[in-house]
Amino acid sequence: MSVQNAMMESGLFEDLQKKIDEDTQVKDTLREIVQQLEKQGQHTIDQTSARSTRPDRIDSRPRDPSNLVKSTFDAFGRTIENQVQSIQRLAEVASKHPYYRYNYAWTREMQSATFSILYCAYLGGLNTQAGHLLTLSEVTTFMQSTPFPSLLSTLSHPIPLIPLAVPPSAPNTDSFHLTPEEYLQSLISLVDELSRLARNSVTLGDTARPLQISKFIKDVHAGFQVLNLRNDGLRKRSDGVKYRVKEAEDVVYDLSLRGLLPGQGKV
Amino acid sequence: MAEPTSDSPESPFLPIFETFRKEIDEHHERRERVIKASRDITASSKKIIFTLHRLRTIGQSLPDHIAKANKPYTTDIATKLTLIAPDLQGQNADRYSRQISSGLQEYIEAASFQYYLETGTLLTYATAASNVRDLCTGEAKVKLGYEDYILGLYDFTGEVMKFGITAMATSGTIPISGPGRTLLTDLRALRAGLEGVRFGGSPVAREVDKKAEVMRVSVEKVEKALYGLTVRAGERPKGWMPSDGDGGRGEGVEV
């Protein structure tokens, strides 16, 4: 030890560097998975916007979302399946480490994947009834469900919602899970997307859907009223839900004014 | 039949939201408690540092009046840490690490400053972590992350600088911290050590960069002051005091 260094124990900073390097290694592993999830997420978003904007991709017969052109739906399901596989890989790696230490690395992509799942389910995919809002534990169960042959005898698209024996990860553990905040953020994304779908489905000649959407958004809005949100990201975004309520109502209003709602005689 | 805004009195999704309510409320309560405690710990740590600046030498145990003056602040830090320790257990340790970070950093700054003044050496991470643990008198203990330790050390270099400048201005020599060592050689060793630590792309990296710049300036300030002392040393006898109206002393020394 040189005289100059007698101020500090030798190796003090080297030991700290070792801790940082270990940390960096974990982050790199996680980043690789998250980047893949991000790419897959982008793909899903492309498809969801295709669904709400391209006339040839959607069957305009009202009140029957299951008539969404099957090939598009299957593609949607497949992309989500890929996302779920990435999430399961992520869960495996992430569960070995303190949950919130690296949470920032994946939270955005988890929200976007959750949005895809909520949206697909709302449209009637993932073996759910159209208009259904998956709960947090349903989303978790779905993320844990596995399309791999060893656990499921058959797999047909859209992915069946089959819960595994594994219970949804309880909060307050370090194991990988979807947080309520992430779920709610995704739900707001869903509301944003649905208010867009309300307008676009009218363009495509579906005048029944805006009614369903308007009710759905209102119900979600009522749900947010129950929460005491403080000044954080969730609060800021949830403030926007009331504008979506209004947007969807405006569409319904436009339709009813012109007698275009189902049961109003026209169409 | 056409009832476009058919409001059902009760949203079917309420049960979903009800399940979140308690958890979100608890989260905010914990978070606020931690933020408040962090602020208090910061304030008390600053006061400890302030008192320590009354000292002029390195390597002696704290005089009674200093130790006594700082006692209530240390007690306050211990109380606050004990109070929030239960909020920082398990996964919540990392969940609220950003909220408690500034308080812990400031505490490390104070603790390492005091340790340096007493011993002339650097408080290690292990000792710092066990200090933090021991301050919690309850069952639950607060863990000190190594990031907060390092960030605290960066701030500590600023205190060493201020201490050095004041000591040089009042005594006319640079404080000796050990055999063959001065405050400046220590500061340089510290700078070399801290600059050797690479954070890569972590969120702390940006904070570290900012503090690293401040640290460089601190080292330079002490170098400049020492240069001033060296250059002018022969020009005035030891213990020389300025007569009225002579403001020449301490030039180039800013604190």
Nearest CA distance, A112 vs chain B (angstrom): 20
Question: Would the CB atoms of B91 and A99 count as touching at under 8 Å?
Answer: yes
Residue that the structure tokens 């189902």 belong to: A262
Share of chain B above pLDDT 70, in %: 88
For chain B, the average pLDDT equals 89
* Coil, strand or helix at B182: strand
pLDDT tens per residue across span B107-145: 999 999 999 999 999 999 999 999 999 999 999 999 999
Classify domain A17-53+65-153 by CATH architecture: Up-down Bundle (1.20)
CB A79 within 8 A of CB A43: yes
Q: Domains in chain B, start-ordered, CATH in brackets? A: 27-253 (1.20.58.2140)
Question: Would the CB atoms of B95 and A7 count as touching at under 8 Å?
Answer: no
Nearest CA distance, A55 vs chain B (angstrom): 25
Instruction: Give the pLDDT of residue A156.
Output: 39
Mutate: best of A1, A3, A7, partner B, most B CBs <10 A: A7
From chain B, pick out residues whose CB is under 8 angstroms from the CB of A226.
14, 17-18, 21
Mutate: best of A226, A241, A247, A257, partner B, most B CBs <10 A: A226
Instruction: Give the pLDDT of residue B146.
Output: 94
Question: Would the CB atoms of B94 and A99 count as touching at under 8 Å?
Answer: yes
pLDDT tens per residue across span A153-179: 233 344 444 433 333 444 456 788 999
A229 touches chain B (CB under 8 A): yes
The better pLDDT of the pair B4, B52 is held by B52
Structure-block tokens of residue A55? 């006339």
CB atoms under 10 Å from CB of A159, counted, come to 22
Fold agreement (A17-53+65-153, A179-260): yes
Instruction: Give the pLDDT of residue B243.
Output: 66
Kindly give the residue spans of alpha helices, DSSP state H, lying in A54-69.
none
Radius of gyration of chain A (CA): 23
Residues 105 to 144 of A: which have CB under 8 A from any B CB?
133, 135-136
Cα–Cα distances in Å, from A204 out to A184, A210, B112? Answer: 29, 12, 69
Mean per-residue pLDDT, B10-33: 91
Closest CA to B192 of B211, B214, B165, B219: B219
A228 touches chain B (CB under 8 A): yes
A42 touches chain B (CB under 8 A): no
Dist CA B159 CA B153 (whole Å)? 10
Question: Would the CB atoms of A180 and B121 count as touching at under 8 Å?
Answer: no
Picking from B12, B17, B124, the nearest residue to A227 by CB comes out as B17
Dist CA B18 CA B31 (whole Å)? 20
Question: Would the CB atoms of A23 and B202 count as touching at under 8 Å?
Answer: yes
Question: Would the CB atoms of A223 and B14 count as touching at under 8 Å?
Answer: yes
Instruction: Give the pLDDT of residue B240.
Output: 64
Element (H, E) at A210: helix A209-226
Nearest CA in chain B to A137: B16
Dist CA B245 CA B255 (whole Å)? 21
Dist CA B53 CA B172 (whole Å)? 17
Question: Would the CB atoms of B199 and A136 count as touching at under 8 Å?
Answer: no
Instruction: Give the pLDDT of residue B104.
Output: 97
pLDDT tens per residue across span B198-252: 987 777 889 999 999 999 999 999 999 999 988 887 676 666 666 665 555 545 4
Enumerate the β-bridge partners of residue B178. B181
Question: Would the CB atoms of A103 and B94 count as touching at under 8 Å?
Answer: yes
Q: Kindly list the domain boundaries of chain A, sorted by start residue.
A: 17-53+65-153, 179-260
From chain B, pick out residues whose CB is under 8 angstroms from the CB of A172.
90-91
Closest CA to B159 of B182, B180, B177, B183: B183
Question: Would the CB atoms of B197 and A20 count as touching at under 8 Å?
Answer: yes
Dist CA A9 CA A13 (whole Å)? 9
ipTM: 0.81
Query: How many CB contacts within 8 angstroms connect chain A with chain B?
Result: 150
Closest CA to A105 of A189, A230, A97: A97
Query: How are the residues of chain A apportioned to helix, strand and coil, as percentages rounded to the nearest 5?
Result: 65, 0, 35
Instruction: Give the pLDDT of residue A47.
Output: 66
Closest CA to B107 of B67, B76, B65, B64: B76
CB A78 within 8 A of CB A136: no
Question: Would the CB atoms of A228 and B179 count as touching at under 8 Å?
Answer: no
Range B15-51 burial, b when 16+ CB lie within 10 A, else e:
ebbeebeeebeebeebbebbbebbebbbebbebbbeb
Instruction: Give the pLDDT of residue A10.
Output: 85
CB B183 within 8 A of CB B163: yes
From chain B, pick out residues whose CB is under 8 angstroms from the CB of A7.
120-122, 177-178, 181, 185-186, 189-190
pLDDT tens per residue across span B93-112: 999 999 999 999 999 999 99
From chain B, pick out residues whose CB is under 8 angstroms from the CB of A183.
20
Nearest CA in chain A to B98: A101
CATH 3.30.1370.60 fits A179-260, yes or no: no
- Residues of chain A short of pLDDT 50, as ranges, are 1-4, 54-67, 148-171, 267
The better pLDDT of the pair B194, A52 is held by B194
Closest CA to A133 of A91, A188, A77: A188
Nearest CA in chain B to A259: B2
Instruction: Give the pLDDT of residue B175.
Output: 93
